[in-house]
Amino acid sequence: MSYIAPVKDMLFNMVHLANLEQIAQLPAFADAGVDTAQAVLEECARFNQDVVAPLNWEGDTKPSFFKDGHVTTSQGFKAAYQQYSEGGWQGLQHPFDFGGQGLPKTIGAACVEILNSANMSFALCPLLTDGAIEALITAGSDNLKSIYLENLVSGKWTGTMNLTEPQAGSDLSMVRSRAEPQADGTYKIFGTKIFISYGEHDMAENIVHLVLARVTGAPDGVKGISLFVVPKFLVKSDGSVGARNDVHCVSIEHKMGIKASPTAVLQYGDHGGAVGYLVGQENRGLEYMFIMMNAARYAVGVQGIAVAERAYQKATQYARDRVQSRPIDGSIKAAAPIIHHPDVRRMLMTMRAYTEGCRAMASVAASAYDASHHHPNVSTRQQNLAFYEFLVPLVKGFSTEMSLEVTSLGVQVHGGMGFIEETGAAQYYRDAKILTIYEGTTAIQANDLVGRKTSRDGGNTAKAIAAQIANTESELKKQNSAHAIAIAKKLGAARQAFEQVVDFIVANTSSNPNAAFAGSVPYLMLAGNLMSGWQLARALLVAEQAIAKGEDVPFMQAKISTARFYADHILSKAPGMRDAIVDGADSVTSMALESF
């Protein structure tokens, strides 16, 4: 089955949940209203459905390969990437000043989902380039911006993030790559970096590596890390590509999933030192790299939504086509498609509800990002920034964990055929696993949620969001339909569970950190569940009002059914999660270490 982008659902979220028309009133986005969004999404859907999606299966079965220091990407990737960059897709949400189209993240995030649903391995290259662009816009000198940004924004060059080393995974204080200052203001970079997505490939004329390294004499730990631009090819004074820099791929990894994406081991400085250019100030590299990390973390969450959508579409089509057994209600007297079986419908509804809930949450987060950067009122910007930053670990952590459940269910719907690679369902399951690991594992997202996003402000941001959710409960009760009343009850119980966990986290993070962090991932999952369920509850309010007016009844009825299912089967888990976090903290760490 071919992929069909869910443009209608994306536009619904933008218009009714993410306040696109208000975003379009900001001076920076004057031309970014609904008509623009629809035109962009429809063209994005056409390109990805026709050009990028057909390469997904081929890339999985015949992945990128490494030979004699060079990486050759899967057949068709290079030509598709040229079309991608020529179409201006890399620059969609980057500033006009550097050749971008300047569209809001609210629109751009939907396009990122479409690209990743079409082909996640392919989409990783633009994802990393986006992060490099954000870091250079924020911290790069005018000279670095003039040399690199236009070519990155156009897609002519691609970007990477170089953090991890063999001895330094998530603990970046252990970074050993070194940078030696030179008389001309450049640095010579030496070291080994691993897990570098698209660290070497044949799709663009240059690769711009952003590299964490320690300047000679810098302090130990994270305070002594600096960030450098290290291009694969040095750039001449006229802006053209020059001599090869001393950075080389020595191998690529053999992986469980995202096989078409070349994951490189890069060696810096084997022949005298790679030429690097300092980004910002020395010893502030981790601060700058987190700009890339935050952009990438949100995007990885969208990848989770994207692969879940693809798995859902494939499972639904299979359930419509696969004939097995008579329906148990006797509605058909002969063997029928398995979509008639209640448990298959339960699985499909679970897949759909999770995917739509997370998509709505991500869309609302993108809107908050746009307002936090471009709204003229300082207080409004600050409120939206706090909201967005609270949601980032949820978009990343909850959406990616969700994608594992959804893609697993996709295999289950296929039954034994799902375990056979040729059906394609297994690829989505394999691809999804990396999403809970790279750009910070789920536990790292949860630590961020507990420490920086909840405890640091005494739970104020979390409680402010809970107050907004309570307002939605009131609106549901006023609507007074059977569905609205039922969802209000489940939403209220989940909100109260969330508030109780926030109180527990705030009370224990300093005094009893093991108790607080023992429940960090369950807290993230509870919070993500609540935020997604909240957005679907808001969607139900819109849908019921639209049906009363006779507007797009089949679509709106499906939206109501999805919201009700989410409340009954997913949101209803929140109180039990509260019990595990608050009442079960001690049992996580009570067993003696030698007993494991």
Active site residues: 439
Of the candidates 188, 201, 195, the residue with the CA atom closest to the CA atom of residue 158? 201
The burial class, CB within 10 Å (0-12 / 13-18 / 19+), for 489 is middle
CA dihedral 65, 66, 67, 72 (to 10 degrees): 60
Residue 238 class from Cβ within 10 Å (0-12 exposed, 13-18 middle, 19+ buried)?
Answer: exposed
In 3D space, the residue among 245, 295, 302 whose CA is nearest the CA of residue 128 turns out to be: 295
- Coil/strand/helix, residue 95: coil
Residue 59, token pair as written in the block? 């890339």
**Largest separation between any pair of C-alpha atoms in the chain:** 85
Q: Are 272 and 371 in contact (CB under 8 A)?
A: no
Provide the token pair at 149.
Answer: 């940004």
- The DSSP call for residue 74 is P
Angle between helices 34-47 and 105-118 (to 10 degrees): 20
Q: Do 143 and 80 form a contact (C-beta atoms < 8 A)?
A: no
Three-state SS at 84? helix
Strand locations in 73-197, DSSP E? 157-162, 178-181, 187-197
CA 234, CA 323: separation in Å to the nearest integer?
Answer: 60
Burial class of residue 167, CB neighbours in 10 A (0-12, 13-18, 19+) = exposed
Contact in structure between 343 and 355 (CB atoms under 8 Å): no
Provide CB contacts within 8 A for 271, sequence distance 6+: 246
